[in-house]
Amino acid sequence: MNILVYLEHDGSEVKKASLSALSFAQALTHGPDDSVRFLLIGENLDKVASQAAKYAPTLVLEAMELAHPIAERYALVIADAVESQQADMLVAASTSQAKDIISRSAALLGGAMASDVVAHARVGEELQLDRPIYAGAVIATVVLKGSPQIITVQASAYEASPPSDSTFAVTPLSPNLDNVPQRVQIIDVETKRSSRPDVTEADVVVSGGRALRTSEDFEQLVGGLADALHGATGSSRALVDGGITPNELQVGQTGKIIAPEVYVALGISGAVQHLAGMKNSKTVIAINNDSEAPIFEEADYGLVGDVYAIVPDLIEQLNSG
Amino acid sequence: MKILVPAKRVPDTDQKIEVCEDHSGIETGHLPFVVNPFDAIALEEAIRIREDRVDAEIVAVSVGDLEYEEQLRTALAMGADRAIRVDCIESLDPWNTACVLKALVEQESPDLVLMGKQAVDGDCNQTGQFLAAMLDWPQATFASRIKCLEDKLLVDRETDAGIETVELPFPAVITVDLRLNEPRYASLPGIMKAKKKEIAEISMGDLGVQNAEKMHTVSVRSAKTARKRVMVSSSCELAEKLRESLKST
């Protein structure tokens, strides 16, 4: 089995989610003939490449035209690399970038793709893959027909692969850019600035829902509790729709799918699409004024009451040790 | 200008989904069906583009059995100019759906395909990207704002890192995200008018497409998680539980 793992990065750091994709790929390979390598794409990649080499052998595709992850360009060079390396499988973490790029690559490689995989099993010759459907209410077991197979995995379902004691080889590839289209141009990128950890990578996530009435209240209560727990903040779709929180905080089927060690839901009722985004969390704690709220069905510990009354008290108790 | 909008038939998202006893699929007998909510957003956007550019024609398309006419009728009532149903009794995976859409694009020559970023049944998030690759068209996925200019499109895309604005030429595939717009309800005159519009029917064979499964579903099961469901009665107790949970991490 020859597997390429698409390595996502921000220009200086490898994305932790890609290490989960790596561990999925490593779980599929055992023999001396098997290989798992990172595929790293961009411009000025020395720093990321040396980081990547702590985890796996790394193939590097560098070019000015590849400075930004634009799907029509990346998909083509990724498909080329899969073909030229004769890979049997292309794996990536299921991030918004992979959904954009890897899916496009998959079509160039024959379309045998499963996205958002959360578990796998070898049954005879077949690789069976579990993936959530219907907003996470149902798990489908699927098999892919054809080769190469293209698989994206939910990072929350696989532990990040640990670094090795040795350093693996970094091999530059020269991308064929002759046919790479340049029709799509990035005009502007508006990135978030937050001192808190990323919601997809934090061990503790505190999320707020409809009970929070303003951005200030959200910051004070949800942000305050997150800071007391050294965690990240998340949000239900209602607050994003209401303009109270930015969209990158949204946890749910159509937002981020996360599985922190501890998830705290403040004033979130627990709509199906929200539960799909957090139901794999290890411990779930919920506060809601409605004792019938569905979030309590999905919680380990629940408290019925007003978040405005309870949370300041909770923050004070946690801060006082 | 012509805009093609695929509209998939999916169970209403408010409904509880139950798995069949033999685990071959879900129970659909009792379920109300709707236009995939993301496709409805795409259709709404197409209608808004036509409100700015009167020459635009909107063609709603669907791949499915006769029941899919219900969703195409909804699309016509919302404002699509005409509708095409590609007759198919099987449920197609994203690859085969994209193959059918590609054949339709070749037949209809639209300037723009506007579609949902995913269907809320299979949640694959693949078909739009597959179609763009097959056509070798530029793509913009997860659109939260679309500006349709004379000779190009400006699209705000929702990414994990924030909002990215891209410029792309026609023809293009755009997949839409939740925050793009709030789809309108079909008006009574719209519903009456839609009843008179014809829904064209084509077979997969007419389009030269044969279903060749790439992703095969072996079985499905209900996703249940086991939670402790302990209710506490004070913030003091909850703080204690929080500390315990953090310690065990």
A249 domain-assigned: yes
A198 domain-assigned: no
Q: Are residues A143 and A209 in the same domain?
A: no
At B208, the amino acid letter reads: G
In the predicted model, what is the mean pLDDT of chain B? Answer: 94
Query: Rounded to an integer, what distance in angstroms lies between the CA atom of residue A77 and that of residue A81?
Result: 6
Give the one of B98, B142, B238 whose C-beta lies nearest to A303's C-beta: B238
Q: Evaluate whether the domain defined by B2-224 bears CATH number 3.30.70.260.
A: no
Nearest CA in chain B to A320: B239
Give the one of A10, A75, A114 whose C-beta lies nearest to B133's C-beta: A75
Q: Are residues A22 and A165 in the same domain?
A: yes
Query: Rounded to an integer, what distance in angstroms lies between the CA atom of residue A255 and that of residue A16?
Result: 18
Q: Are residues A138 and A55 in the same domain?
A: yes
A189 domain-assigned: no
CB contact residues (below 8 A), chain B span 61-100, against chain A: 94-95, 98
- Angle at which helix A71-84 crosses helix B127-135, to 10 degrees, equals 80
Distance between A302 CA and the closest CA of chain B, angstroms = 5
CB contact, 8 Å: B235 with chain A? yes
A193 domain-assigned: no
Q: What is the mean pLDDT of residues A258-279?
A: 91
A105 domain-assigned: yes
Q: Which residue bears the tokens 């160039």?
A: A108
Query: Rounded to an integer, what distance in angstroms lies between the CA atom of residue A222 and that of residue B73?
Result: 44
Chain A positions touching B140 (Cβ under 8 A) are 184
Predicted confidence (pLDDT) per residue in A22-63, tens digit: 999 999 998 889 999 999 999 999 999 999 999 999 999 999
In CATH, what number is assigned to the domain containing residue A212? 3.40.50.1220
Q: Are residues A144 and A7 in the same domain?
A: yes
Chosen for mutation from A183, A264, A308 (greatest number of chain B CBs closer than 10 Å) is: A183
Distance between A174 CA and the closest CA of chain B, angstroms = 22
Predicted confidence (pLDDT) at residue B69 exceeds the cutoff of 90? yes
Exposure string for A3-21, b = 16+ CB within 10 A, e = fewer = bbbbbbbeeeebbebbbbb
Sorted by where each begins, the domain ranges of chain B are 2-224
Predicted confidence (pLDDT) at residue A193 exceeds the cutoff of 70? no
pLDDT of residue A140: 97
Chain B positions touching A185 (Cβ under 8 A) are 166-168
At B162, is the pLDDT very low, low, confident or very high (cuts 50, 70, 90)? confident
Q: Are residues A166 and A208 in the same domain?
A: no
Give the one of A107, A112, A296 whose C-beta lies nearest to B129's C-beta: A107
Q: Are residues A120 and A264 in the same domain?
A: no
How many domains, in total, are found in chain A?
2
Contact A104 B132 (CB under 8 A): yes
Give the one of A142, A254, A300 whose C-beta lies nearest to B218's C-beta: A142
A150: Cα within 13 Å, side-chain hemisphere: 28
Predicted confidence (pLDDT) per residue in B6-28, tens digit: 999 999 987 889 999 999 999 99
Higher pLDDT, A136 or A71: A71
Predicted confidence (pLDDT) per residue in A11-31, tens digit: 999 999 999 999 999 999 988
In CATH, what number is assigned to the domain containing residue A112? 3.40.50.620
CA B151 to chain centre: 26
Contact B228 A104 (CB under 8 A): no
CB contact, 8 Å: B136 with chain A? yes
Contact A146 B121 (CB under 8 A): no
Q: In which domain, by residue range, is A266 found?
A: 204-319
Query: Rounded to an integer, what distance in angstroms lies between the CA atom of residue B36 and that of residue B40?
Result: 6
Distance between B39 CA and the closest CA of chain A, angstroms = 14
Predicted confidence (pLDDT) per residue in A136-169, tens digit: 889 999 999 999 999 999 988 899 999 999 999 9
A197 domain-assigned: no
**DSSP symbol at A223:** I
A292 domain-assigned: yes
Q: Are residues A221 and A158 in the same domain?
A: no
Q: What is the mean pLDDT of residues B97-112?
A: 98
Contact A190 B162 (CB under 8 A): yes
A42 domain-assigned: yes
Of the three residues A173, A196, A221, the one that is the final residue of a domain is: A173
Q: Picking from A70-84, A189-203, B95-109, which range would have the lowest pLDDT averaged per residue?
A: A189-203
Q: What is the SS3 string spanning B139-177?
A: EEEEEEEEEECCCEEEEEEEECCEEEEEEEECCEEEEEC
